[in-house]
Amino acid sequence: MIIPTPAPRHTRGSIRRPQDPIGEEAGVVRLDRNQRITPIADAIVRELKNRLSATVIQSYPNPLPFRSSLSQSTGLSPPQIAVTAGADAAIRLIFQAFVRPGDVVLLPTPTYSMYSTYIEIFEARLQPIPYGDDLKLDLQRFREGLLYSPRLAVIANPDQPTGAVLPIAVIEEFAEIAARQGTLLLVDEVYFPFYPETALSCLKRFSNVALLRSFSKIFGLAGLRLGFVASDENIIAAIEQVQGLHEVSSTALVAGDFVLNHSELIADYTREVEEGRRVLQTAAATLGLTFPACRGNFQIVGVPSRFGVDNVVRKLYEEGFRVRSLSQVPLLRNYFRVALGGTKIMEQFAVALRRAVC
């Protein structure tokens, strides 16, 4: 007797998911994942390892000390903070807590691709607000979209892949409109403080705003999966109600608490990224490539259509660098995205880029 396989809620292939090649490749520098490129200093790593005692590893996680540290660094009370297993898990929890089948989600496009994936998983309806050819968001259309009372509205600041940013005054305006319409406004600040402006002050004025942060980018802890949501206590309570027990590992919590007390990591990495950006910008100007303003640890670069961006990406891979082609994004069909490192690695990348487009 053949027993049929239980049918999943979503059939294979019915949910569009971003493709993300996993693992390291010999002789290839991964500049396609917006993660830290240069290693954290050995002295810092040794000090962190000393914090990882047997008790930490063998005990169930206790997020309260880390949440207390976040409270001190943000000026928020601990009940206004939910600690999550990375920003991606935070997004999922917000959808799980607040988005019902058929609800409308207002979303700039293009943006982080997992937002669209979660809209499909939770059977919501996407209301896209496009970026223009100048890579600026149509603010008036976003305002108008808010007036239709979507369940959730998302603003990533900076956004990815465009690298675009919005003034905090605009986000405050959106928050006020959203509050009148009963809409939850999610402000994604995963790339803070590469772009140092923050909507944290909105949390003091509006109970319908949630702020998202990550430890993957500026702190370089992508492999540990750590982030947090900051919001009104009632919003946080709703998120924690659907969160699994012990989702965030003890190792991540200890590492997060440790790096919060090492502000030099932020200053050093921010300086490194901007130095690398200047190297790449000089090379792009010499080669006649498009170099829009970006405020994250990444940069998008446009190539003339005659070169074919996928062809350039392939040649860069042959030179030992993996970058992310954006050819499937209509607005950015002639662009690729590259994670930024320090001067040395970006000078090497610039040499490879010259070979790829010449």
Mean pLDDT of 243-258: 96
| 249, part of any domain | yes
Kind and range of the H or E run holding 204: helix 202-205
Domain boundary among 260, 295, 329: 260
Per-residue pLDDT tens over the stretch 59-118: 999 999 999 999 999 999 999 999 999 999 999 999 999 999 999 999 999 999 999 999
**Vertex 249 angle, CA 15 and 210, to 5°:** 60
Phi-psi label, residue 262: left if phi above 0, alpha if psi -120 to 50, beta otherwise:
beta
Q: Which long-range contacts (CB under 8 A, 24 or more apart) does 113-122 make?
A: 113/18, 114/18, 114/88, 115/91, 115/154, 116/16, 117/15, 117/16, 117/17, 117/18, 118/91, 118/92, 119/95, 120/10, 120/14, 120/15, 120/16, 121/10, 121/15, 121/95, 122/95, 122/96
Per-residue model confidence (pLDDT) at position 62: 95
Q: Are residues 36 and 98 in the same domain?
A: no
pLDDT at residue number 15: 81
Band of residue 14 on the pLDDT scale cut at 50, 70, 90: confident
CATH code of the domain covering residue 305: 3.90.1150.10
**Tokens 């954006």 belong to which residue?**
326
Whether residue 300 contacts residue 280, with contact meaning beta carbons closer than 8 Å, is answered with no
| Structure confidence at residue 5 as a pLDDT band (50, 70, 90) | confident
Shared domain for 178 and 76, answered yes or no, is: yes
Mean pLDDT for all residues in the chain: 95
148 plus 172 within the same structural domain: yes
Boundary of a domain, candidates 208, 227, 260: 260
Q: Are residues 207 and 59 in the same domain?
A: yes
- Whether 46 has a pLDDT exceeding 70, the answer reads yes
Which residue reads 């465009």 in tokens? 162
**109/106 Cα distance (integer angstroms):** 10
Whole-number pLDDT of residue 358: 86
Q: Which CATH number does the domain housing residue 66 bear?
A: 3.40.640.10
Domain count within the chain: 2
Please tell me the predicted confidence (pLDDT) of residue 113.
Answer: 94
Write out the residue range of the structural domain in which residue 338 sits: 29-42+264-357
**103 assigned to some structural domain:** yes
Is the residue at 21 inside a domain?
A: no
Say yes or no to pLDDT of 23 above 70.
no
**What is the pLDDT, as a whole number, of residue 1?**
66
Whether 46 contacts 216, CB under 8 Å: no
Single-letter amino acid code for the residue at 78: P
What mean pLDDT comes out for the span 348-352?
98
pLDDT per residue as tens digits for the range 277-318: 999 999 999 999 999 999 999 999 999 999 999 999 999 999
Given pLDDT bands bounded at 50, 70 and 90, which one contains residue 35? very high
| Two structure tokens written together for 8 | 């999943």
Same domain, yes or no: 121 and 200: yes
pLDDT of residue 21 exceeding 80, the answer is: no
Asked whether residue 74 is assigned to any structural domain, the reply reads yes
Claim to verify: residue 293 and residue 156 sit in the same structural domain: no
User: Do 203 and 115 share a structural domain?
Assistant: yes
Q: Is the pLDDT of residue 175 over 90?
A: yes
pLDDT for the residue 26: 78
Give pLDDT, residue 202.
97
Flag whether 6 is in a domain: no
pLDDT digits (tens, 9 = 90+) for 227-240: 999 999 999 999 99
User: Could you tell me if residue 15 is inside a domain?
Assistant: no
Report which of 231, 192, 241 is spatially closest to residue 208, judged by C-alpha positions.
231
Tokens of 108: 């700039």
Percent of the chain with pLDDT over 90: 89
Question: Per 3-state DSSP, what percentage of the chain is helix, strand, and coil (rounded to 5)?
Answer: 40, 15, 40
CA 351 vs. chain centroid, Å, equals 28
- Are both 273 and 331 inside the same structural domain? yes
Residue 18's pLDDT band, with cuts at 50, 70 and 90, is confident
What is the average pLDDT across 180-202?
Answer: 97
Co-location of 252 and 271 in the same domain: no
Q: Match 């923050």 to its residue by tokens.
A: 198
Do 233 and 107 fall within a single domain?
A: yes
pLDDT one-digit tens code per residue, 68-82: 999 999 999 999 999
Confidence of residue 3 (pLDDT cuts 50, 70, 90): confident
| 157 and 291 both lie in a single domain | no
Predicted structure pTM score = 0.94
Tell me which DSSP letter residue 159 carries. Answer: -
DSSP-assigned beta bridge partners for residue 129: 108
Instruction: Say yes or no: 34 and 63 in one domain.
Output: no
The answer to whether residue 293 is domain-embedded is: yes
- Residue 263 confidence (pLDDT): 87
| Whole-number pLDDT of residue 11 | 65
Q: If you average pLDDT over residues 323-331, what whole number do you get?
A: 97
pLDDT tens digits, residue range 122-170? 999 999 999 999 999 999 999 999 999 999 999 999 999 999 999 999 9
Q: Report pLDDT for 12.
A: 67
Residue 330 counted as domain residue: yes
Whats the size of the chain, residue-wise? 358
What pLDDT does 22 receive? 66
209-214 and 81-84 strand pairing = unpaired
Provide, rounded to the nearest whole percent, the portion of the chain with pLDDT above 70: 97
Domain boundary among 233, 260, 287: 260
191 closest CA partner among 244, 123, 266:
266
